[in-house]
Chains A and B, each alone.
Chain A
Amino acid sequence: MTALRPLQVPLEDITACFEGVLPSLICTVGPDGMPNVTYLSIVHRVDERHVALSRQFFKKTEENLQNPAQSPLVQLGVQDPGNGRVFSLDAHYVRTETSGPLFERMRTHLDAVAASEGMSNVFHLRGVDICEVDECVAVPCDFPEATPPRTVALERIEAATRRVGMAEDLDELLQATLESCRDLVGAEHGFVMLADETGRRLYTVASMGYGDSGAGSEIEVGVGLVGLAAARRQLVRLTHVSRDLHYAHAAMQTVAPDQQAPDIPLPGLPKVQSQLVAPMLAHRHLAGMLVLQSESIGAFQAADECLVGILCSQAATNMTLLSHDHAPAEAAPAAATTSLVVKYYPDDESVFLDNEYLIKGVAGGILWRLLRTYVEEGREEFSNRELRLDPTLDLPDIKDNLEARLILLRKRLEERTDALRVEKVARGRFRLVVSRPISLQAVGESSS
């Protein structure tokens, strides 16, 4: 076995070229000796000597590469999104993968592009062609200054994971996770969705950097970009959303979005260009999803996937540990003016304040229970434990669920009314602060 000659430009020195920010060029040779040149949305770097090409549309390239009658040579032109430098990779086809982690990852990326606009079945990944790189050279240019890759010191990573790992309640944990993403990855906008008790839906409990927090917004697992990543338990990174969507539209020809308008919109940037969507997994259990967004092209790099992955694992693990409550207590007053009308619909446990939708589901049921106790018993302080033991709430036996619902409820109340607040008074205890008289109306059947 002969040792491979080192590449003039090591692939690990040009990782930015493999981010998918700018399209790449691929040139092959047909059996008739004719060149075939076309574009490729992403060239993935597999290791220091191999790249992977997603095969969706190119018929001729596929015929040329897999033709056993001739040498399956390929030349790739990849471009640094930081300064536009082009690198030319001479390679040869090795094999095609139609399953496995690399294939699944590339399939999810393609589906995510379509899913981010509510489309599906736009791209069909037929295979992933693995090519070995024989040489990599820099194409001459007038402005060769390289953009330095972003690096994060290990000490900062350790400090961030420790902060997430040592959070004492879910609220603090989510805050620490989002702020660590801002510190390590430079993400100014992000949100966390947690899986509900069925594992089929995700709801937003924490966000950072948006006008509307989006707390309480929900999606179905499997639907949309976040839902797709959740269903496949995979991290998805989009680096140039507008280009990806143009590409999807070109491929689709006609666009038929299949999404419905939600009760509460997800947090989102109007001109999002980069997204990093990561599952929060603890022992393969999906605790939730972390979503980071930016209006800059190429804002999240390959190395950021590792950083966010570490934070998500730490957060998910700590989430499973954070669920036992303790107790103490005290009390507080309420003020008055006109009555706040609270309507409750038992069918879906939705709650409306002065006819404006507030929340539904488990969090809605909890609020109704708190308000009834407040009116009937004059009590303002509650413990997590008593809610867990309350059979009327029908809480599932999942430890972290209640705390997440309480955070969600607190945020929705903060955004929607001045009359009601949920305040934490101690670990596992909170207070319902009512600053206006309230009138409770259960609509439909009686609620008890």
Chain B
Amino acid sequence: MFQIDDELKEFSEAGVAANVGSVGPDGRPQSGAAWGPRVHEGGTRITVYLDGPRAEPVLAGFRANGRIALTIADPVSYRSVQFKGHVTHIGDANEAEEQWVERHRNAFRTSVALVGEPPEVVRNRWMEAPVVRVDFDVEQAFDQTPGPNAGMPL
């Protein structure tokens, strides 16, 4: 089990770009955007939220084998971290969680605006629809920042 410290928790919950990967029942990799990464108390579990209308191919993989990868990246500095583990829960998000996702999207919108991404591009990053909650236990974490250390375990 990998333990996320306070600094990495703060980074994970800021305006990062987040994407998840899974392996479908047919063995094909599946990926998609994720929102509102939240590190649980104790630092070994993360919750992320997927756009409902886009989530099914990725969720099918989670249901088939539970394996998940989550990469978060700062659009400005390119600092990136990948977490890997197993899904423990898939479910609906409540209102407070929808607000948490909204907060993250606003922070993300600010981050990408800093690197010049126009509003007409940002607005298609997510959909105005309910999100799906996914919890997973973090087993490994890797530095994914471009450079010589990319891929090294944290």
- Chain A positions within 8 Å of B21 at CB level: 27, 35-37
Q: How far is the CA of A139 from the CA of B20 in the complex (A)?
A: 15
Q: Is the CB of A35 within 8 A of B116?
A: no
Interface secondary structure of A, over-half rule: mixed
Kindly state whether residue A243 has any CB partner on chain B within 8 Å.
yes
Tell me which residues across on chain A come within 8 A of B67, comparing CB atoms.
Answer: 33-35
- Give CA–CA (A25, B72) in the complex, Å: 12
Given known contacts A27-B30, A75-B29, A34 and B146 CB-to-CB distance under 8 angstroms = no
* B residues less than 8 Å from A112 (CB atoms): none
Known contacts A58-B151, A73-B29, A250-B78; is A84 also within 8 Å of B127 by CB?
A: no
- CB-based contact B23/A29 at 8 Å: yes
B117 at the interface (CB under 8 A from A): yes
Q: Which of A41, A243, A247, A252 contacts B116 (CB 8 A)?
A: A243
Q: How far is the CA of A273 from the CA of B118 in the complex (A)?
A: 13
Contact code string A84-98 (vs B, CB < 8 Å = 1, else 0):
111010100000000
- Judged by a CB distance under 8 angstroms, whether B76 is at the interface is yes
Determine the residue in chain B with the shortest Cβ distance to A57: B150
CB distance from B109 to the nearest CB of A (A): 12
Whether A73 pairs with B146 at a CB distance below 8 angstroms is no
Q: Is the CB of A38 within 8 A of B71?
A: yes
- In the complex, B54 has a CB within 8 A of chain A: yes
Which A residues, 10 to 29, have Cβ-Cβ distances below 8 Å to chain B?
Answer: 22, 25-29
Contact with A along B48-90 (1 / 0, CB 8 A): 0000011000000100010111110100111110101000000
Is the CB–CB distance between B19 and A143 below 8 Å? Answer: no
Chain B residue contacts of A141, Cβ below 8 A: 124, 127
How far apart are the CA atoms of A251 and B120 in the complex, in Å? 29
* Bound CA span A249–B61, Å: 35
Q: A323: CB under 8 A from chain B?
A: no
Question: Would you call B47 an interface residue if the criterion is a C-beta within 8 Å of the partner chain's C-beta atoms?
Answer: no
A252 contacts across to B, CB distance below 8 A: 147
Q: How many residues of A contact B (CB 8 A)?
A: 50
A37-B69, A83-B120 known; A57 vs B151 contact (CB < 8 Å):
yes
On whether the beta carbons of A297 and B116 are closer than 8 Å, the reply is yes
Q: Chain B: interface residue count, which band? A: 35 or more
Bound state CA distance, A58 and B82, in angstroms? 12
Contacts of A246 in B (CB 8 A): 76-78, 115
A273 and B115 alpha carbons, distance in the complex (Å) = 10
B8 close to A (CB within 8 Å): no
Which residue of chain B lies nearest to A123 when distances are taken between CB atoms in the complex?
B146
Cβ of A68 under 8 Å from chain B: no
- The answer to whether B65 and A27 have CB atoms under 8 Å apart is no
CB contacts (< 8 Å) of B146 on chain A: these are: 41, 56-57, 247, 250-251
Min Cβ gap B48→A in Å is 12
Q: Which among B19, B29, B145 has the greatest number of chain A C-beta atoms within 10 A? A: B29
Which residues of A have CB within 8 Å of B116? 240, 242-243, 273, 297
Report yes or no: B77 in contact with A250, Cβ–Cβ below 8 A.
yes
Produce 1/0 per residue, A151-180, CB < 8 A to B.
000000000000000000000000000000
**Interface of chain B, helix or strand or loop or mixed?**
mixed
A140 interface contact, C-beta 8 A: yes
CA distance A252 to B22 in the complex (A): 31
CB neighbours (8 Å) of A26 from chain B are 31
Least CB distance, A220 to chain B, in whole angstroms: 28
Task: Determine if A29 and B29 form an interchain contact, defined as CB atoms under 8 angstroms apart.
Answer: yes
Q: Let me know if B142 is at the binding interface, CB within 8 A.
A: yes
With A38-B82, A240-B116 known as contacts, the answer to whether A142 contacts B27 (CB < 8 A) is no
- Smallest distance from the beta carbon of A229 to chain B beta carbons, Å? 23
Asked if A392 is at the interface of the complex by the 8 Å CB criterion, the answer is no
Could you tell me if A84 and B124 are in contact, using CB atoms closer than 8 angstroms?
yes
Taking the closest CB of chain B, its distance from the CB of A170, in whole angstroms, is 38
Partner of B30 from A57, A75, A84 at Cβ < 8 Å: A75
Judge if A284 is at the interface, Cβ distance under 8 Å: no
Known A-B contacts A22-B117, A35-B23, A250-B79; A142 and B151 likewise in contact (beta carbons under 8 Å): no
A283 interface residue (CB < 8 Å to B): no
**A90 and B28 form a contact (CB under 8 A):** yes
CA distance A25 to B18 in the complex (A): 11
Question: Are A37 and B19 in contact (CB-based, < 8 A)?
Answer: yes
Contact B31 A37 (CB under 8 A): yes
Q: Residue A60 at the B interface, CB < 8 A? A: yes
Name the interface residues of B113-148: CB closer than 8 Å to any CB of A. 115-118, 120-125, 127-128, 142, 144-148
B80 to A38, Cβ gap below 8 A? yes
Contacts of A75 in B (CB 8 A): 28-31
Q: Which of B31, B118, B120 contacts A25 (CB 8 A)?
A: B31
Residues of chain B at the chain A interface (Cβ within 8 Å): 19-23, 27-33, 53-54, 61, 65, 67-71, 73, 76-80, 82, 84, 115-118, 120-125, 127-128, 142, 144-148, 150-151
A140-B54, A141-B127 known; 13 other A-B pairs, CB under 8 Å? A22-B121, A33-B65, A35-B67, A36-B82, A38-B144, A84-B121, A84-B124, A85-B124, A90-B28, A140-B127, A240-B115, A246-B78, A250-B145
**What are 17 sample pairs from A and B whose C-beta atoms fall under 8 A apart?**
A29-B29, A34-B67, A35-B68, A37-B20, A37-B71, A38-B144, A39-B73, A82-B121, A83-B121, A84-B122, A139-B32, A141-B124, A142-B124, A240-B115, A246-B78, A249-B78, A250-B146
Q: Which residues from chain A sit less than 8 Å from chain B, CB to CB?
A: 22, 25-29, 33-39, 41, 56-60, 71, 73-75, 77, 79, 81-86, 88, 90, 139-143, 240, 242-243, 246-247, 249-253, 273, 297
Give 4 nearest A-B pairs by CB, closest first: A37-B21, A84-B124, A35-B21, A250-B78
